[in-house]
Structure 1
Amino acid sequence: MSTKRNRAITLLSLSHACVDVYQGAVAALVPYFVAERAYGYAAASGVVLAASLLSSVVQPLFGALTDRWAMPWLLPLSALTGGAGVALSGVMESYALTLAVVAVSGVGVAAYHPEAARAARDAAHGSHTAMGWFSLGGNVGFALAPLLVASAVATGGLGASPLLIVPAVAGAALCAAAVRSAGSRGGTAGRSEVAGCDDWRSFLRLSGAVVCRSVVFVGLSAFVSLYVRQRTGGADAAGTAALCVLYVGGAVGTVAGGRLADRYGRLAVVRHAYVLTVLAVAGVVLVPGPPVYLFVALTSAGLYVPFSLHITLGQDYLPRRVGTASGVTLGLTVSVGGLATPFIGALADATSLRTALLPLIALPALGRLLLCGLREPTAPGRAAPTPGTSGDRPRATSA
C-alpha cells in the first residue's frame, strides 16, 4: 500500500507541476505581448486578469461538482485545456481572442485542482508530508513557467507559443497514470457517505487567513524584484536573485511544512508561520542593503510552510465537501492576491513602491488573528485531541 501511495502522490505531484506552469506562464508572456503587440499596461493587465478572475470564480464550482460525482477523467482533460489556451494565446491576432483563450486556460487550471487535491488526499492516507509533496509540485511548476516561456518564445517570438502545449501533454499523461495507479472513486461522492459535520465558521476564518497570505505572496512576487534593486542599488540580476530566493525558499518551505505538521500539529505550525511572516516582510520592506535577501528567504518560508496545511485543514473542516474546500483554498482565496495586485501598483504610482508594500506587513498579522480560537479538526468518530498528546496531530480524514 505504501508503494502504491508513493507512486500515486509522485504522479500527481508531477502533473501538478505541469498544470501550474500555466498559472505562471500568462504573466511571463506579458513582456512579449507588450513588445510585439504594443499592448499598454492596462491591456497587459487585462490578459492576466482574464486568466485569474475567471479561474478564481469557477474553481469552487468545479469543487462542488467533484463533491457530487467522481470525475477522474477531468484531470487529463483539464491539463490539456489549461495548456491549449496558453499555447494559442500567442497566435491569436485580436485582443479579444487572446483574452478568450487565456480565460479558457484559466478554466482548465481551475478544473484540475479540486479533483487533483481530492485524489492526493485519498492517496496520502492522512500523511501531511505526502500532501506537502503534492503542493510542492504546483509551486515548482509556477516557478519554472518564466524559464519555459523564455525558452519557447524568446527566439521565435509569440508565433512559437504553440510549443507551450508540451507540459500539458505530459501533465495529461501523468494524470492518466495517477488515476490508474490510485484507482478511481466509484459512484458519487454523496454527503451521506461521509461521516462528520461541516464546520463552515472555522473554514471561513481559515479562508480569510489564506486570502491575507495570498495578497502578500502575489504582491511580493510582482514587485520584490524591482524593490530589491532599489534597496540594494543593484542591476537586474539583483532583482532576479531575490525572486529566485522567494521561489526556492518556497519549495523548501512546502515540504518542511508537512514534516513539521506531522510532528507538532497543523495549526501550531500555521500560526507560527504567520508570525514569522510578519517579521520577515517587515525586514524586506524596511531593511536596506544585502540583508534584504535573508528576509526574502524568511518571508518565503513563512508563506510556504503553511501552504499544504491550508488545504488539508480546509478539507477537514468541510469533510462532506472536500472538493469545495479544495477549490476555495487552492483557487478562490489564492486568486484574490492577483486581484489585489493592481491596487498595490496604483498606490506605488501615487506614492512610492516602499509605501505601497507597507500594508503587506499587517496582512499576515490579520491572518494570525483570524486563526485565533480555531481548533484542530478531528477525524470523524475520533475524540477531540488533548493538548500535549499525539491527538494534537490528527490525520486527514479520507474522503
Structure 2
Amino acid sequence: QKALLLGIGSVSSGIVQPILAWFSDRYDSRVPSIIGLLVAVLGVSFIGSASSFAQLVMIQVVATAGIGAYHPGAAATAGQLARRRSLGISIFFLAGMAGGVCGNSLSPLLVDHFAGRPVDLVRGLHSLRWLIIPGLVCVAILTWAIRSVPHRAHDSHARHVAMDASERRARWRGLGVVYLGNIIRFTVNMALVSLFIDWADGHVLSREGVTEMTSALSVHSSKLNGILQGSMQVGMGAFGIMLGVMLSHRTERRAMIVVPFLGAGAIMLVPLIGLGSAWGPTMAVGCAILAGAGFGGVIPISISMAQRLVPHHATLATGIVLGGGWVVAASGPALAGIGVAHVGLGTTFVLSGIALSFSGIVSWWLPREILDD
C-alpha cells in the first residue's frame, strides 16, 4: 500500500504536466497553475477525511494532479522573469524545497499534537484541515503575481523559425537526454523516499528492542522519517541554489555529469550506519542531505536546459522533463520494495546509488555546442 500511494502520486502528477503544459504554451495561459495549486491545497488538507484505503488513493490522485498542474507554468514563468534563467529556476526550486522541509517536519508535529494521549491518529490527521487557510492565501498570492506574465520570450518563435532542420533535431535529442537523466534522478528519489521510511522504522524498532510497530512507535518513526525526507529536500534546495549562483550556462553540462556521483557515494554509505546506533539518525541525515544534493541539485539546471533547448515550447519542455520523468519514477517505491524483499535494505541502498551515477553518465551526451552558445 505504501508503494502504491507513493507511485500513484508520481503517475498522477506526471501525466497531467505535459498535457497542461501544452495547453499553457498553446494559449499562453496561467489558469492551470492557479487551479492546480488550489486543488493540491484542498486535497492534501483532507487526507485525514479518508475512511478507507480506496478513498486515500483517490485523495492522493487528486492532490498530486493539482501539484503537477501547478509546476510547469510556474517554473516557466520563473525562468522567463529571471535575467539568468537557471538562477531564477533555482530560486523557485529552493522555495519548493523549503515548503517540502516545512511540510515533512511540521505535519507530523501537527498530527501528534492533535492526536493527544492516548494517541488517536484519526483525530490527529483531521487537524491537517487547518492547512487550508495558509494554502488559500498562497493561491491568492500566486494569482496576483503571475496574472500578466507570458510563459515564453517574445522572440522565441522567431528563433525557432530561424533554425535549420538539423539544429532542431539536435535540440530535441538534447531534450531527450535531459529527460532520460531526470527519469533516473526522480526514480532514485522516489526509491529513497521508501527506503528512508524503512530505515526510520528499523531504527525505532532496534532502539526499542521490539519487532512490531505500535501507534506510539509509528508516530516516533514518522517524526524521524519527516526529518530524513526534509533533509533530502534541504540538500536538493541548498545545492540547487548554490549551483544556480555559481555556474554559468557554459559549465552547467559539467555539473550534470559530476554532481550525481556525490549523491551516489552518500547513498551507498547508508548501509554502514548501524540501525541501533545512537548517532544513527544524525549520520543518516547527513547522507540524506548529500543524496538530495546528488539527485536534486541539478534539477533546476535540467529545467533551464530544457527551456533553452526548446525555447518556443518552454512550458511543454518543463512538463516533459518534470512530469514525464515523474510518471516513470512511480516505479521507484515498488523497485525499492522488491529490492528490500530480495536483497535487503542495505544492498538496495547501494543499488540506488549505482543507479544515480548513471544519470551523470548519460549527461555526457548533452549537446555541448548548443548549450555553450
* TM-score after normalising by structure 2: 0.78
Show structure 1 runs of 4+ deviating over 6 A. 186-191, 237-240
In the alignment, the residues of structure 1 paired with residue 252 and residue 153 of structure 2 have an alpha-carbon distance, to the nearest angstrom, of 30
**Matching residue of 2:135:** 168
Larger deviation, residues 226-235 vs 294-303: 226-235
SS in 1 for 2:149: coil
**Matching residue of 2:294:** 302
Q: Given the superposition, is the C-alpha separation of residues 265 and 78 from structure 1 closer, same or farther in structure 2, using an over 3 Å criterion? A: same
Q: Given the superposition, is the C-alpha separation of residues 52 and 299 from structure 1 closer, same or farther in structure 2, using an over 3 Å criterion? A: closer
The structure 2 residue matched to 1:282, chosen from 265, 268, 273, is: 268
Note if contact 2:7-2:334 (Cα within 8 Å) is conserved in structure 1: no
Note if contact 1:81-1:108 (Cα within 8 Å) is conserved in structure 2: yes
The structure 1 residue matched to 2:326, chosen from 316, 334, 357, is: 334
SS in 2 for 1:320: helix
In the alignment, the residues of structure 1 paired with residue 151 and residue 313 of structure 2 have an alpha-carbon distance, to the nearest angstrom, of 17
Q: Given the superposition, is the C-alpha separation of residues 201 and 221 from structure 1 closer, same or farther in structure 2, using an over 3 Å criterion? A: same
SS in 2 for 1:262: coil
Shift of 1:102: 2.7
Shift of 1:153: 3.7
**Matching residue of 1:121:** 79
Structure with larger RCO (C-alpha < 8 A, sep 6+): 2
In the alignment, the residues of structure 2 paired with residue 245 and residue 158 of structure 1 have an alpha-carbon distance, to the nearest angstrom, of 23
Larger deviation, residues 224-233 vs 58-67: 224-233
1:153-232 aligned at under 5 Å gives the runs 153-154=111-112, 155=114, 156-180=123-147, 183-185=148-150, 192-195=157-160, 196=163, 197=168, 199-224=171-196, 226-227=198-199
Shift of 1:194: 4.8
Residue ranges of structure 2 left out of the alignment (5+ in a row): 115-122, 209-220
Note if contact 1:51-1:103 (Cα within 8 Å) is conserved in structure 2: yes
Note if contact 2:184-2:356 (Cα within 8 Å) is conserved in structure 1: yes
Q: Given the superposition, is the C-alpha separation of residues 317 and 263 from structure 1 closer, same or farther in structure 2, using an over 3 Å criterion? A: closer
Note if contact 1:66-1:189 (Cα within 8 Å) is conserved in structure 2: no
Q: Deviations over 1:138-194 (max 9, x none)?
A: 1122222234433554413333343232342122122123215xx333999998455
Q: Higher helix fraction: Structure 1 or Structure 2? A: 2
SS in 1 for 2:92: helix
In the alignment, the residues of structure 1 paired with residue 154 and residue 49 of structure 2 have an alpha-carbon distance, to the nearest angstrom, of 41
Note if contact 1:206-1:310 (Cα within 8 Å) is conserved in structure 2: yes
Residue ranges of structure 1 left out of the alignment (5+ in a row): 1-41, 379-383, 386-393, 395-399
Shift of 1:124: 0.9
In the alignment, the residues of structure 1 paired with residue 199 and residue 28 of structure 2 have an alpha-carbon distance, to the nearest angstrom, of 46
Matched, 1:269 2:255: yes
In the alignment, the residues of structure 2 paired with residue 292 and residue 278 of structure 1 have an alpha-carbon distance, to the nearest angstrom, of 14
Matched, 1:76 2:8: no
Q: Deviations over 1:201-230 (max 9, x none)?
A: 111112111111112222223223543786
Larger deviation, residues 65-74 vs 90-99: 90-99
